[in-house]
Each structure stands twice: as structure tokens, then as C-alpha cells.
Chains A and B, each alone.
Chain A
Amino acid sequence: MSKFGRFLAASVLAGACATSAMAENSFDYAFQGSLKGLDPYTLRETFTLGILTNVYEGLIKRGPNLEILPGLATSWEVIEPTRWRFHLRKGVKFHNGNDFTAEDVVFSAERLNSEGSDMKGRVPVDATFEIVDDHTVDVILASPNPILHYEWELWSIIDKDWAEANDSMRVTSASDTAETTISLKANGTGPFKISEHTSGVSTKFEANENWWNWDNREFNIDTVNFTSISADATRVAALLSGELDMVYPVPTQDIKRIDASSTLSALTGPELRTIFLGMDQRRDELLNSSITGKNPFKDIRVRQAFYHAIDAEAISARIMRKQATPSAVMVSPFLLDNADQFERLAYDPEKAKALLAEAGYPEGFEIRIDCPNDRYVNDESICQAVAAMMAKVGVKVNVNAQPKAQFFAKILASGGYETSFYLLGWTPGSLDSHNIFANLYGCRDDAGKGGQFNIGGYCNPEVDALAKEILVENDAAKRLDLVTQAYRIVTDEVGYLPLHQQGLAWGVSNDVSVAQRADNVLRFEHITKN
């Protein structure tokens, strides 16, 4: 007993002398995923790039509502349709004290498109950069590109001299077998510096007093501690226990619990990601289906029938617990000015049955849906709901839910597009519709040449032609018109079956105020803490 008693006493004592005070102005938060390397060109993934924009900066910046703001470039103009001029900010210094100049921009552009970079194309590969003077850069394009700078917030500008001195000229490629300085240390121009980084575990940031906008800063925090917590229950518990100031994402079922707490609130809003169902319109015979010798999805009436049979409102209300907005078009209304022109086909099971009968399937048929179970919010439940709704019109849908690693290995080009009916989510990386026409609606061959993520193989040359025009149209009004035309065609043809815009959910302590961006990026410069 004595040993046990002593142990008990010790643990009580340890518990009693607990509560060590945290630094008052430190912001501690956790995210589901982890930060692996610090080289901003190694992985094109929103979380990694987003967290690094607190340290590195791009030529442009996006505000809390994703509006484009001046970043390291104070202004820019299109001198000729294919020549852009960027005026760079003066007096900007990198964390190591080096000056930011045009040379760094040119170097970063070259590095971005070099071997091993995962960011290729964020600056058009055929664009050339010309230094006009130390703080002016011209970009010469092969063809006009109105959205040239759209993705440049997440294109981090790297100091050329520092990269040279630290053997980091080359991009830390995904196939690298040795650590490089730039994957362990960061030297940007941003409002925060990385003071400690443990790959995959935690990262500490401290405010950069030499930041060019220090005097007008919004934030009042001195340090930021980021921890990766992958288990949902632990992440929520860490917030509830007051150890952290913020966690995200919050599982939909925990939102109420957080809101119920007097010291916390759940910050919710629509994300840019569209969740949709894809249908195989390319194969002559569907995979895992009871119909042999033909492909029902090639018939527009079958696609319409599926559309009419699925109640997206119910999915948003029940499965997503109102943390989603049904969508009529394959892009977030945030990114399309006239999205309200589009309407979903009405939920109408009777009509769905009639359409199926008309198409020659009065008894319905059987098909398998491939679905991830750890990628999107409630992904597997959505597929099950779809199966239940389809059953009402006589189509038997078998749900095959898998972890994302297996799911993507199978359904993407590398797996030979092994699916005939699937659930996927898409955020256009450029925050522009062209990305959607190119990646999701562009005609492709069996190897994936063309619309690489057009897994269902929808193809309409007219849409492809429009996409080409959209790419080079500099006039905003004309461009919107072309975009609308293209969406009209693909929506009428039911190329995909959009379900909803997934919701964002951040759990935040009432002591802090943060700006929630629809792309799920957290910028430290908007954080204030009481």
C-alpha cells in the first residue's frame, strides 16, 4: 500500500502545483494536418502554403474576404496585353536583414518552375521576367492572362542571396533524400518568423518587428504556437480545456458543444470547396454495375434522373447539420459574380423515375459509388444518404468508402480512373473558374491528357473552346459572359452533379478575434488577443 499511497500523493501534488501561466500574448492553436517541410515550393497544398504566408509573402495578398490587395508589389498594370509591370515595395527586408529587390522576384519565378517544384504553373511556364530597375519587374507572357496574379499570394518570394548561401537554390523535391536548409529554416519578409520547427509535430513563430507594415499592424500577439492534433476528440478537448486559443476543423457534431461554452464560440462559414458527384461518361460499359454492354450515364436523361432523385437540401440540413450550402454550379458563389443565375434541378423522385423509364431503365439498375471516408466533412455519410435517396427511385447504389490514400490511388489518372460513380470535392487553386473548366470539364484521353481530374470523362468541344477564350480574355465583362456561357452548357448537360459548398468550422476562444477566410487559411496578421 505504501508505494501506491506515495504514488497517489505524488500525482495529486503534481496536479496541484499545475496551471503554469502562459505568456499573455501568445496565440496557441492546432490544426488537423501537420506542417512537414518549410520549403514553400515542395507541396502544393493549401494548409502548408497558407501557414507559410505568415512567414513568406507574395507579390499580392488576399484580405479576409479574399479580395486582392498589394503585397510585396505595391501596384501593377497591364502595359500591353502580354506585358505586365509590377512595382515592388521599397524598404522591405528579409528576416536575415537582406533587402528585397527585383532580383529576388526573378529568382523565385525561376525556382518555382524548376525541376522538383510542386508549384509549376503558378507562374506561367512560358512567362519571362525582366528587371526594369531594382523595384520594378516586367512579366512578358506568351498569351494574355487576366488572372496572372490570382494565385500569387501563395507564391512565396525567396531571398536569392540567402538561398545561394544556404545551398537552397534547388527546390526540395518530393523525391529528395537529404534535408536542405530551406526545408528546416525559413527566411521570408512576412510579419512572423519561425523560431522553432519540429517536422510534423509543432512550430513556433514570433512576430517580426522589422516587418514593413509593423507600424500599421492589426495583430497584438508576439508568438504563435502551432501544434498538429490529428484526433478530432483530442483537438476539441484541447480547446474546451482552455489549453488552446483555437482549433480547426471542428467536427460538425461538436459545433453545438463549443457554442454552448461561455468562453468559446464556433466560427462557421462556407468554404470554397464544392462537393459533387461524378458520373462516368466515357467508358462504354460501367464498372461495378448491373448494366452490361452499355453505359447509362451517357444518356443525359439518366444523369438528370440522378439529379432529381438527390435531395441536396436534406443532405445539407441533416448530414451536414446546416454547415453546408447546396450548390447549383460547380464553383463557389464567392468566385462567380452571377452564381445566383443558376438553380438546382428540383428534388423530384417521381420525375426521376419517369426519366429513368424513358431512358430504358424502368426497373432502375445497380451501381457502386466510390467515396473517401477521411477527406471531406462527413464524406462517407453523404454517400450513404445518396444511396438511400437513389433507392427510392429504384437505383441500388453500393457504397464503397475508403481512406483517401486508397481512394485517390484508384480514381485518379495513376489508377486508370477506376470508378464509374464517385464523390469528390474541388477548390479551384487559382480562385477562378478557368481552373474548373480546364481540370474538371476539359476533354481527356485515357492517360489523363487534357482535363486531368475529369474523372468521369465528360467532354464537349464547345466548352473546351470557351475555356481557351476565357484563359486569354482581358476584358472582365466579356470574360464573365464567356464563363457564364460555359457554366450554362455544363450545367444543362449535367456534366457533374453538384451537391454543396462544404462549410468551415473553427473553434475559437472568445478572448481572441481571427479572420476566417473561405479558403480555410489562417493569417496571423489578423489575430488580436485580449
Chain B
Amino acid sequence: MLAFIIKRFVQSIVVMLVVGLIAFVMFRFVGDPVDQMVGLETSIEDRERLRETLGLNAPLPMQYWNFISSAAMGDFGTSYQFKRPVADMLGDRLPATLELALVSAIFALCAGIPMGVFTALYKDSVLTKLFQAISLVGISLPTFLIGILLIYVFSVQLQKLPSFGRGEVVDIAGWSTGLLTVSGLKALILPAITLGLFQMTLIMRLVRSEMMEILRSDFIKFARARGLTPRAVHFGHALKNTMIPVITITGLQLGSIIAFAIITETVFQWPGIGLMFLQAVQDVDVPIMAAYLLMIAFLFVFINLIVDILYVVVDPRIRIEKA
């Protein structure tokens, strides 16, 4: 067991190093950071001096080593554009992204599960057709289009919800939250739906197919034969048994919600880490790009590591194979 975990852990570190390396090689093609840091009229000598101070003239393996060795100690360097430590900037922007991710995950669950159950139970209902149409939209339309459509309807036409930003935020022990103010909550609605729609669709379809399968199984027939109320059969027995894959998928999807928030954040000018990353790409702010990519890689590696370990704990067959 311990050997397995150590092995997985070593593999994770290798993955992180490779991601760091690939990112670093890519940065050479993004453009020249110095051009983005000074005005157009800045002299060549001043530009050269800046390049030297930033260590951009050092050979690539050297730059990579410097970055990785300080990143390992939690130091991601200083943003070229903002002159602030990248770790602080990520810390400032992370609450916005996490709140958005969390709310959209809750939205996906709260809307996806009932819709899945409903469509499994009432296959021919008009509502079922509607839900399935929505799920088709959710799965086929790109996120930015959904975002712009929502903005057009709810902000431009109805003028009910804000089209950009987080609204008012309250600072609680360094964590800026928009969950406690009316304008903050209103600002959350559209981005959360945009980001969560795809996940909602996924959960709805998953619940529906699992539910339909379970409803056909023997123990449900038996429960019905015992005369249990439909409510108890559907929710107490059937739904409970569909929850295991749903929980697994939701956990895994949380990582991608955070990672793919980039587009939603750009459409809604949501001041989270995704927007920061995209702006960093435009400004060739290498330290922010590198830190963001490493952070996302870490997130996925970490989630996968946990899942792998849980599998070993849960499923004895994997343990036996390893032994």
C-alpha cells in the first residue's frame, strides 16, 4: 500500500516537472515580455538593461532551473506587469474563481440531479423533452456563446443582472467574498450558470441513464412488490444507488471547472485567476503564466492521486494485482 502511494507520488512529481518544462519552452513563442513592459519609445539600451535584470538573457535550462527551484519553495517570482509576488496575486484572485466554481458546481448538482431523475421517471413528458433540449444546448454550444446570450437577454434586454464583474465584495480575513452582498450574489448568477451548464448537462445525463438502469433491476421490482410508496422507491432506493458515479464525476469535474473558468471569466470580466492568466498571456507575463499552469497541473495531479488512492482503499482487486 505504502509502496503504491510512494510510486504514484513520484509519478506526480515527474508530471509536474514535465508540465513546467513544456510551459517554459512554450513561453519562448509567446512574444517578448520586455516589449510589453515599457512604452514603445523606450530606448534599446534601457530595454537591454531590463532584459539583463530580469534574467531573460540566461540560457533556457538555467531559467527553468531557477524557476523550478524557487517554485518548489513556494516562490513563483514577481509579475513582470504588476511588480507584485505572483503567489500573492494568485491568493488575491483565487477566492473569485473558487466561489464561482463552487456555486456553479452546486448549480450543476441542484439542477442536474432533479432533471435527471425527472427525465428517467417520466420519459414521455413535455418537460422531459424540454430538459433534453436544454441539455443538448448545454453540451453543444460553446461557453462564450452561452455567456454572451445570457448577457444579451438578462443584462441588455431585461436589465436585471449585471453583465460584468463581481459586484460588491466583503473582505473576511483576506478572503474576498461576493456571497454576502446582494450585488455580489446577483453578479454570480450569470457566470455560474454559464460555467455550470455543461456540468449540469453531464450530471443530468448520467443520473438519467443510471436511474433507468437501476429502475429495471430486481431489487427495485422487489421494493415495488413490497408496496413501498413510489417516493420511497425512487428517492430512497433508486436515487441513492445512482449517487456513487455522480459523486465521482462531480469531484473530478471540479478540477476542470476551475481550469476552464478562463472563458467564462473573460466573458464576464470576472476578476479570478483565469482572467488573470489570459491577460498574462497577452502581456507575456511569464511568471503568472508559469505559476497558473503549475497550479492547474497540481490541481489535476492532486485530484487524480487522491482518486487513485481511494480506489486502492475501496477496491481490493487493485491491491491484489499490485501484490
Contacts and interface: CB of A to CB of B under 8 A. Distances in A.
A25 interface: no
A231 interface: yes
A7 B115 CA distance: 12
A44 B39 contact: yes
A172 interface: yes
Provide the main secondary structure of the chain B interface.
Answer: helix
Best-buried of B40, B78, B156, B266 by chain A (most CB within 10 Å): B40
A243 B162 contact: yes
A338 interface: no
Given A174-B38, A175-B50, A409-B32, A227 B269 contact: yes
A22 to B, nearest CB: 10
Contacts of B297: none
Contact of B54 (A19, A118, A175, A404): A175
A165 interface: no
B110 A7 contact: yes
Interface in B182-212: 182-183, 185-186, 189
A1 B118 contact: yes
Contacts of B30: 405-406
Give chain B's interface residue range (CB within 8 Å of chain A). Answer: 35 or more
A23 interface: no
Given A36-B81, A413-B44, A234 B31 contact: no
A243 B271 CA distance: 17
B38 A240 contact: no
B82 to A, nearest CB: 5
B35 A238 contact: no
Interface string B169-182: 00000000000001
A118 B279 CA distance: 22
A44 B41 contact: yes
A199 B41 CA distance: 24
A120 B31 CA distance: 25
B165 interface: yes
A403 to B, nearest CB: 7
Interface stretch (A319-327, A445-453, A457-465, A519-527): A445-453
Given A230-B279, A447-B44, A178 B32 contact: no
Nearest to A176: B83
Interface string A369-405: 0000010000000000000000000000000000111
Contacts of B118: 1
B32 A179 contact: no
A369 B43 CA distance: 25
Contacts of A413: 44, 47
B43 A178 contact: no
Interface residues of A, number: 69
Interface stretch (B12-20, B147-155, B313-321): B147-155
A268 interface: no
Contacts of A15: 154, 160-161, 186, 189
A180 B46 CA distance: 21
Contacts of B159: 19, 241-242
Interface in B64-111: 77-78, 80-84, 107, 110-111
Contacts of A374: 282
A448 B44 contact: yes
Interface in B213-253: none
Residue in A118, A172, A234, A453 whose Cβ sees the most chain B Cβ within 10 Å: A234
Contacts of A453: 40-41
B151 A18 contact: no
B155 A241 contact: yes
A409 B50 CA distance: 15
Interface string A233-272: 1100110111100000000000000000000000000000
Interface string A12-40: 00110111100000000010001011000
Nearest to B183: A20
B269 A200 contact: no
B276 interface: yes
A151 B183 CA distance: 42
Contact of A200 (B117, B151, B183, B276): B276
A15 B160 CA distance: 6
Nearest to B48: A414
B113 A241 contact: no
A234 B46 contact: no
Contacts of A174: 34, 37-38, 50, 80, 83
B164 interface: yes
Given A406-B31, A414-B47, A452-B43, A183 B83 contact: yes
A148 to B, nearest CB: 17
Contacts of B140: none
A216 interface: no
Given A174-B38, A227-B269, A4 B284 contact: no
A45 interface: yes
A20 B43 contact: no
Nearest to A177: B78
Contact of A36 (B31, B82, B110, B165): B82
B63 interface: no
Nearest to B189: A11
Contact of B43 (A19, A120, A201): A120
A415 interface: yes
A408 interface: yes
B283 interface: yes
Given A15-B161, A18-B161, A414 B35 contact: yes
8 smallest A-B Cβ distances: which pairs? A44-B39, A405-B31, A409-B32, A175-B53, A241-B155, A4-B114, A177-B78, A174-B37
Given A30-B164, A43-B38, A233-B151, 15 more contacts: A2-B114, A3-B111, A7-B107, A15-B161, A19-B160, A118-B39, A121-B41, A173-B50, A179-B83, A241-B159, A241-B163, A406-B30, A449-B44, A452-B43, A453-B41
26 contacts: A2-B114, A3-B114, A4-B115, A11-B189, A14-B182, A18-B161, A20-B182, A44-B38, A174-B83, A176-B83, A177-B77, A198-B271, A199-B82, A230-B279, A231-B266, A234-B267, A234-B269, A237-B156, A237-B163, A238-B155, A405-B30, A405-B282, A409-B32, A414-B47, A448-B44, A452-B43
